[in-house]
Structure 1
Amino acid sequence: MLDSILFWFFINLISSGIEWGAFKCILDEFSEKKNSTVVINISIIILTFITTLLAISKIHPSIKLIIGIVMSLIVYLYNYNEKLLKTILVLLMFWMIILGSDILSTSIISFVHSISDINRLLDYSIFRLELIITSKLLLIAMVPLVKGIKIQLELKLKEFINIIIPIVANIISIAVIFGSEFGVFEDYKLNNLILLVSAILLLISNISLINMVGNLIKKYNLKAENEIIKQKIEAQYEHYKELQNAQLKVRKLYHDMSNHIICIEKMIDNNQYSKHYIDSIKSELNQWDSISTTGNMILDIILSEKKDICKKKSIKFSTDINFKECDFVDMIDVCSIFSNILDNSIEACNKIENENNRYIKIVGNIVNKFYVIRCENSKINEIKKKSNKIISDKRDKYMHGLGVSSVNSSVKKYDGTMATDYTEDKFIVNIYIPLEYKTIHV
């Protein structure tokens, strides 16, 4: 039976069918179908028969590999909707798996049977049958693992190159190992040249892998930083929400107390002690009446809180903000923008020994279809920059950086920009939010 050409024809037919069936499973998982399942299945059957005829022919193995890759590319592009970069990536992954399972199977069969001459596996014998069965079982086992990899990201050219180089290097290395084992490269100089090229490719592959690992670490750090920023903004928002609830209650009491005091003034004797007592209560209540009215209650509370802090630290604090046209800005972003820029301003002013030189001015108005926020504060510290980013001189540079990042993140959410400027004794933050964002997105 092992000497029958018809037997080996059917074995190769089944083997090719498994390979192209695995190919179809991978494509169905990664890409959207352009043609019907019937058309795709016919394409796979045609591939299977062509590959079977190539397997029993005496064509050079490298030519067979090239023909197989070209045919798989044609079938992929004809039957599936996919971008070229991802198509190439998926194809190379598939062929790396095919070649990897073949060489691993060759090593297993050679080791189990102590075969020193690998060419014996090419003969029509039980060894070749075992090789084919082992190889296809490995392929079938690998398909679920490959399908578990979700290639849904939009790959940039640089990322694609970093991924593709190791795959190509592995495919060439496997082909070289195969060729060397089966004596394909009989010329000594050619063999050395191919080994040299493979070594260079593997070196480039390692560099690409290191670069990929570096990018993954950067993305992980960025993700962790964004998570902290999110938590920080949410904490700020919750804080000001609590203050908002408290202020609503106090404002209600304010109106009631004002009326009560008027009645008390008329009822009691006009002695000096009672007058002084009533005046002190009025003074306390007037503080609530003097809270900024920007058109946004959360912003009013933020400015009121920062004003109290500035008063304790002897910082002149002035505001002129009309935020009524910015009702499209989420409350959580209002907290992020104003809290962080004012906190940084207060921190800078606090370093100035002469209290007369401490000041913060923050204004917000509409200028040429932009809502412009300008915050200016005095300073004495030296501004240092690295990669166009301001480096904090605070001990906790990381948390300071998160504050600036959270402002940037909130501003960019509304297609806005943030710019900074400074002189020897002052620092200015300008934020520009296009008002057309409201008409387009809200």
Structure 2
Amino acid sequence: MSRKLFGTDGVRGRANEDPMTAETALRLGQAAGRHFTNGGHAHRVVIGKDTRRSGYMLENAMTAGFTSVGMDVFLVGPIPTPAVGFLTRSMRADLGVMISASHNPFQDNGIKLFGPDGFKLSDAVEEAIEALLDSPPALAEPTRIGRATRIDDGRGRYIEFAKTTFPRGQRLDGLKVVVDCANGAAYRTAPDVLWELGAEVIPIAVAPDGFNINRDCGSTHTESAAAAVREHGADLGISLDGDADRVLIVDETGAVADGDQFMALIADRWAAEGRLAQGTLVASLMSNLGLERHLNARGLHLLRTPVGDRYVVEAMRLGGYNLGGEQSGHIVMTDHVTTGDGLIGALQFLSAMVDTGRRASELARVFEPLPQVLQNVRYRKGAAPLDQASVRAVIARGEARIAGHGRLVIRKSGTEPLVRIMGECDDAALLSAVVGEIEAEVAKFA
């Protein structure tokens, strides 16, 4: 069936506009609750959120939906997305919900669903839930309506879990760490974990007001963390996004390392320790070709997936791999977590600093990336630029020009009316010309 509601990472849109309305959230809660209700046990759902004002509206609507079909709801409040995956499994819940639009501005919001194993739902399960939206809800008898309970120690449970992923015997004493929490879900969690492990913590963007999430801060605005690192003479900067499922590293000079460099570091270390399952790193189509060349030179393999950390995780589970992620900063380590986890990823980088005694700048530049260009071109409602013969022709010409020296990845965004153009090539001038021609052709449909 065609997917009308779910995108590449759950449901997402502008708050109080379809599909991000209270009505849709209620109906989605009823449909998801119906799908996951089986057997005679008490059915449970964990609901977390980030710090957007619209989170209150969607949280209450989904609570109404779930309880109306007989599910008990555990409300854990503002908490990172990976914490919802952890708590869903830990609390033996049937379903987990994270209300967040990740790195998007406050006007947007989203709904991500997790299964009882703590992993995001597959396309097939999302399609089954979406199909149930077309039928009347299976409302519970009055005596079987669910109850909602606020869980006050959900954040504390996740903090203790996060610390268990940091090697025993290691501490962060003597390290000064800037952590940019994007005024989002990790605004209390991340600073507490780092402080409890011994770091001198300089927290920034930790005063959410419902409207300032990701605003000039976080992993999409790393200049904030870079400036704080330079100002305070910090050893490291950690830049999270609004729901803390991705991280970018800022070294002591203020330079930013993306997820590709991060994954290369961890892959090299795990391979040397015999921990990298099947000698394979899983990453999306967007990861730099330089990463692939680096791994191949060491006898390791890069397995590429469609864009979206959910697809990275699905490939990891299918193939039995334990390390994956995306250039954008999703770092997935299934030995520890079920989805991208910015905080736990950062702890692995800090562990490498402690273990080697090397500075962040020495660890964060693992390989030489190919010149890469990323462009997002917005198109008008109803247009389909990638279906147009003129656009396809320009793309084909571009692919022929850089064949053997680079690659193009051109796709429609799963969350916004954008065409995302990514190109990389050994010849930067040729790359710029090719991407520019494609961008200009797609822009005709704006």
Common fold by TM > 0.5: no
Bigger Cα Rg: 1
- State the TM bucket, normalised to the shorter chain: under 0.3
Q: Larger % of strand: which? A: 2
Could you say which structure has the greater relative contact order, defined with CA pairs below 8 angstroms and 6 or more residues apart?
2
When the two structures are superposed, what TM-score results if normalisation uses the length of structure 2?
0.21
When the two structures are superposed, what TM-score results if normalisation uses the length of structure 1?
0.22
Q: Larger % of helix: which? A: 1
